[in-house]
C-alpha cells in the first residue's frame, strides 16, 4: 500500500499495521466502509476526528491518521460531545461495539440520541464481548452460547436501532458486513444528516461468537447474515400483513431519517 491512492487507504496509519483483529473478523469491513464514506464526503484528516471507547471495535481509531481519542469503556459519546460542542467545525465519528454502546455506555447513548448531537456513531454489533474472549452482551440473542451464558442466553437482547429511533436520533440504519455497498451508503447518509446518526453494522466474530454457535467459519457467519437479514420494506409489509416473522430474522435498512432539532451543528 502506498499513499495518495484515494479512498480509504489514504486514511490508514500504515505504521500501525498489521492490526490486532482475528482472522475472519468483520470489523475491518466496517472500518473500510466508514473510511470510504468519510472520504466521499470530501472530509480531510485535518477536520475529522474519530473517537471510541473500549473493545475490539474501539481499536479502529488507532489505525486511522486523524486526531483520535481511544477513551474509557462506554464513554466515547460524552468525550465526542465535548469535542463537537467545542469545535462544531470538526466532523466527529464514533466507533463502538454492542457491549460498549448498549451496556456500560447505554445511558450516554440514549442521551446523545435525545440531545440529537451532531455525531455519527458506527456500532459494530458482533453479539459478544470480543476483546475479553466471548462473554454475553446486551445484544447476545436468546439461546446463544457465550462464555458467560454457557447454557444459552436467557436475557432478551436490545434492538439498538429501534432504541436510537425511540430516543430521538435523526438518522438510524442497520446493515451487516455482508451488505458492503448498502452499509457504505448508510454511513454516508449518517455523515450527511445533521444531528445524531446511528449506523448499526452487524458483524461476524468467528472467534468469540461463531465457534460456540455452530458458525465457526467467517463465511458461514456472513452467509447467516445474508440469509437472516430482511429488507426493511419487506419486514414492514410482513408485519402489516400479520405474516409470521421467521425466527432469527432481523430487519436491515433505514429505520429513520428526519430533521428534528439538533445540537452541535455548525451554524
Catalog residues that contact another protein under the rule CB under 8 A.
13, 16, 45-47, 49, 51, 61-62, 65-72, 75, 77-87, 89-90, 107-108, 111
How distant, in Å, are the alpha carbons of 54, 114, 141, 227 from that of 230? 30, 28, 17, 8
Q: How far is the CB of 12 from another protein (least distance, A)?
A: 12
Q: How far is the CB of 65 from another protein (least distance, A)?
A: 5
127, HSE (Cβ side, Cα atoms, 13 Å):
31
Closer to another protein by Cβ: residue 65 or 221? 65
Which lies closer to another protein via its Cβ, residue 65 or residue 202? 65
When the beta carbons of 59 and 174 are compared against another protein, the nearer one is 59
- DSSP string for 145-205: -BTTBTT---SPPP-HHHHHHHHT-SEEEEEETT-HHHHHHHHHHHHHSSS-EEEEEE---
**How far is residue 263 from each of residues 33, 82, 187, measured CA to CA in Å?**
26, 12, 19
Cβ nearer to another protein, comparing 65 with 218:
65
Cα separation values, 152 from 79, 178, 199, 220, 246, Å:
35, 26, 28, 20, 20
Q: In whole angstroms, how close is the CB of 80 to another protein at the nearest point?
A: 6
Q: At what angle do helices 106-115 and 160-167 cross, to 10 degrees?
A: 40
Instruction: Write down the least CB distance from residue 141 to another protein, Å.
Output: 28
- Give least dist CB 77 to another protein, A: 8
Of 153, 181, 185, the residue nearest 171 (C-alpha)? 185
> Which of residues 77 and 256 has its CB atom nearest to another protein in the complex?
77
Torsional class of 147: left (φ above 0), alpha (ψ -120 to 50), beta (otherwise): alpha
Smallest distance, another protein to C-beta of residue 112, A:
9
Q: How many Cα atoms occupy the beta-carbon half-sphere of 153 within 13 Å?
A: 23
Q: Which is nearer to another protein, 119 or 202 (CB)?
A: 119
Q: Which is nearer to another protein, 108 or 174 (CB)?
A: 108
Q: How many CB atoms lie within 10 A of CB 152?
A: 14
Shortest gap between Cβ of 47 and another protein (angstroms)?
7
Amino acid at each position: 500500500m502506498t499513499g495518495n491512492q484515494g479512498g480509504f487507504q489514504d486514511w490508514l496509519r500504515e505504521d500501525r499495521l498489521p492490526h490486532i483483529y482475528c482472522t475472519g473478523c468483520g470489523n475491518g469491513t466496517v472500518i473500510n466502509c466508514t473510511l470510504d464514506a468519510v472520504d466521499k464526503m470530501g472530509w480531510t484528516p485535518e477536520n475529522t476526528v474519530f473517537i471510541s471507547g473500549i473493545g475490539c471495535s474501539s481499536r479502529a481509531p488507532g489505525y486511522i491518521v486523524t486526531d483520535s481519542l481511544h477513551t474509557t469503556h462506554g464513554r466515547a459519546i460524552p468525550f465526542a460531545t465535548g469535542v463537537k460542542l467545542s469545535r462544531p467545525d470538526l466532523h466527529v465519528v464514533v466507533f463502538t461495539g454492542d457491549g460498549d454502546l448498549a451496556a456500560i455506555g447505554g445511558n450516554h447513548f440514549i442521551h446523545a440520541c435525545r440531545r440529537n448531537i451532531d455525531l455519527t456513531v458506527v456500532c459494530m454489533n458482533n453479539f459478544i464481548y470480543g476483546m475479553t474472549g466471548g462473554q454475553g452482551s446486551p445484544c447476545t440473542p436468546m439461546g446463544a452460547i457465550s462464555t458467560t451464558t454457557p447454557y444459552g442466553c436467557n436475557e432478551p437482547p436490545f434492538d439498538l436501532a429501534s432504541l436510537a429511533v425511540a430516543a430521538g436520533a435523526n438518522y438510524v440504519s442497520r446493515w451487516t458486513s455482508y451488505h458492503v455497498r448498502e452499509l457504505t451508503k448508510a454511513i454516508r447518509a449518517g455523515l450527511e444528516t445533521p444531528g445524531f446518526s446511528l449506523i448499526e453494522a452487524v458483524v461476524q466474530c468467528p472467534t468469540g461468537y461463531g465457534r460456540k454457535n455452530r458458525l465457526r467459519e467467517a463465511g458461514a457467519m456472513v452467509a447467516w447474515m445474508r440469509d437472516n437479514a430482511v429488507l426493511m420494506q419487506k419486514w414492514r409489509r410482513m408485519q402489516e400483513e400479520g405474516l409470521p416473522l421467521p425466527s432469527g430474522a432481523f430487519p436491515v435498512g433505514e429505520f429513520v431519517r428526519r430533521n428534528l432539532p439538533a445540537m452541535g451543528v455548525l451554524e
